[in-house]
Amino acid sequence: MDTPHPAIRALGLSKQFGALTAVEDLRFDVHPGEIFGLVGPDGAGKTTSLRMLASIMDPTSGTAEVAGYSVTGQSAAVKDHLAYMSQRFGLYQDLTVIENINFYADMYGVPGKGREERINELLDFSHMRPFRKRRGGNLSGGMKQKLQLICALIHTPKVLLLDEPTNGVDPVSRRDFWKILYKLLKEKVSILVTTAYLDEAERCDRVALMAGGRIIAIGTPPQIKELMQNRILTIRSPEARRIHTVLKNNALAANVFGDTVHLVCSDIDAAGAECRLLLDREGLTYGPIREAPPSLEDVFVSVLGRPEDKTIEDGGGLDYAAFTDWRSDEEAIAVHVDHLSRSFGDFIAVDNISFQVPRGQIFGFLGPNGAGKSTTIRMLCGLLAPTGGNGIVADFDIRTEAEQIKLHIGYMSQKFSLYEDLTVEENIDFYGGIYGLKGPALARRKEWALGMAGIRAHRKSLTAIMSGGWKQRLALACAILHEPPIIFLDEPTSGVDPLSRRQFWDLIYSMADQGITVFVTTHYMEEAEYCNRIALIYGGRIIAMGSPLELKTELMQEEIINLHCPAPQDVIDIVTALPAVRDASLFGAGLHIVAGDADAAMAAIAKALGDLAIPIRTMEKIEPSMEDVFVSLIEGVDNGKTGEVAA
């Protein structure tokens, strides 16, 4: 039997920008009906690779074939057979949602027959149907991302190129998005996706690990995990960050994954004994210490975290103590919100919310796209006047003292807010000037910012040519340049690789230790575990508030089963049809199954899959993750259930 021709074939693709080699000798195939993941740190060359494959950027050398057509000699035919979703928002701000979709449908030649059905299917999967008539410019950042997904999928191409398509998209929408991808795979669409979510990479048929413009490993997720030379011990604890610090201070290789610490070691027994001794001596609370198979993120951090492979600076010289110490009045309230509301015409974006954030606390603000997170932050930063209620930030009234607030906070918006036609250094100088920094003080803080962002070598580079992750780090550096007592971070790590996210959160914890208040929104549910307290907003209202532990133990009434089996996406419908199962969804490379009685559900699942000769690799009852809680609370509101853990 003849082997099918690859849907994508990269044949030594290389791209240089002056003296910089962005991509070097890229070689791989993507088969028909395969989902292929391209992962790597910021600046690894992933986006440049996709642009060359999409025929919108010419390679310096080498070539590639897409759907059997050359990207260099037959670019028009290539574009007829693929859809490409870029990181840059490529829609029209003045058109409504439905007008944008129809524009792309016309551009792709989607026939009138069946078009409305296809549009409605995509609007429903993305929960965008209520916003059909809203202008693109009035959508939240996450909603714009979902609209771009719809436009990329409006026709069914042979090849789909997705450049970090779920950045800024909430967990509920991410799950729905992957359902659509699996449906496309059954239609023999070939998908090449870059992603900063390593749990998503676990779902790919094959993965290429990229660093420094080159592919350093390629294979199935299990094959990539074989790169992990050591073993993994896991320690689950509400004090995961403190445990991580203790282990690192004792020269043990450890990484934090939400409320779990992964200890990398060669001798399981010796490492476990040493770990227990250290944690008991410090009086830290922790659960069972046990071995676990490595995740792709473990491999990513282990392989790309080696000094010789890093594409970012390690920040070892960062002077965290350079921050002003704001700990003198730790009982003070940094942010006080009292029945705050904001409407846009008939639309209520924020609906009568109230909460307080003590000084030095890391306060997480979670919610689906369009829930009201960014609108709330803009009001608290003095950028948007409230319709009702009030708020106090850094002792200043958000209604009457907005200009004073702006001088006493740092704000990193969801949308990249720096000047792309300025160099990295010029952007820092500009923001330093706004905040009144000059002379030696500005020079010192500039060097700090460049080191924190890991871009000293790119200080003279135009911001426009930087990767999305590097831009995020530069934006964060500019937001905290003036050492403010309160920092608002609106999805600061969206699209940033795991190594950079860890560096971000080390910095956030260092700032909180100095009494700085951090108000952060995120769609990475493991990051929500790092917050002291969390408020979950949905439909403009706060539906739950408390510590991560409180939310997981007091609001999650159902039990969670973790199931690993071949092709988990194909068994979701089988499992959810069982009376003992309430819900099931993809989680990493497996399924998280919600049940009222886990034991009864596991027995039913084992029988159902056994009857179909589907092997079960592992199945166990586990504690809920923050993502489980997030999804459960959102669905509870949709189903008319209520419940709240008060602060």
Q: Which region, left, alpha or beta, applies to residue 216 given φ > 0 means left and ψ of -120 to 50 means alpha?
A: alpha
CATH, domain 229-293, list 3.30.70.260, 1.10.10.60, 3.20.20.70, 3.40.50.720: 3.30.70.260
Main-chain dihedrals φ then ψ at residue 616, nearest 5 degrees:
-105, 120
Fold of 320-543: Rossmann fold (3.40.50)
Q: What is the token pair recorded at 84?
A: 């490409």
Q: Are 495 and 469 in contact (CB under 8 A)?
A: yes
pTM > 0.85: yes or no: no
pLDDT of residue 643: 46
pLDDT of residue 309: 35
Q: Which of 98, 128, 115 is nearest to 156 (CA)?
A: 115
Cα–Cα distance, 571 to 394 (Å, whole number)? 52
Report the 3 state secondary structure along 75-93. Answer: HHHHHHCEEEECCCCCCCC
Cα–Cα distance, 326 to 512 (Å, whole number)? 9
* pLDDT < 70: residue spans in the chain: 1-3, 88-89, 141-142, 305-331, 416, 468-469, 641-647
Check: CATH 3.40.50.10490 for 557-623?
A: no
Q: At CA 208, angle to CA 204 and CA 210, rounded to 5?
A: 135
pLDDT of residue 366: 92
Per DSSP, which regions of 102-248 are E strands?
159-163, 190-194, 206-211, 214-219, 231-236
Helix (H) or strand (E) holding 457: none
**Same fold across 320-543 and 557-623:** no
pLDDT of residue 317: 38
pLDDT of residue 641: 56
- What is the domain partition of the chain in residue ranges? 8-221, 229-293, 320-543, 557-623
Q: For the domain bounded by 8-221, which CATH number is listed?
A: 3.40.50.300
Cα–Cα distance, 482 to 441 (Å, whole number)? 10
Chain Cα centroid distance, residue 566: 26
Q: Which residues pair with 621 in a beta bridge?
A: 561
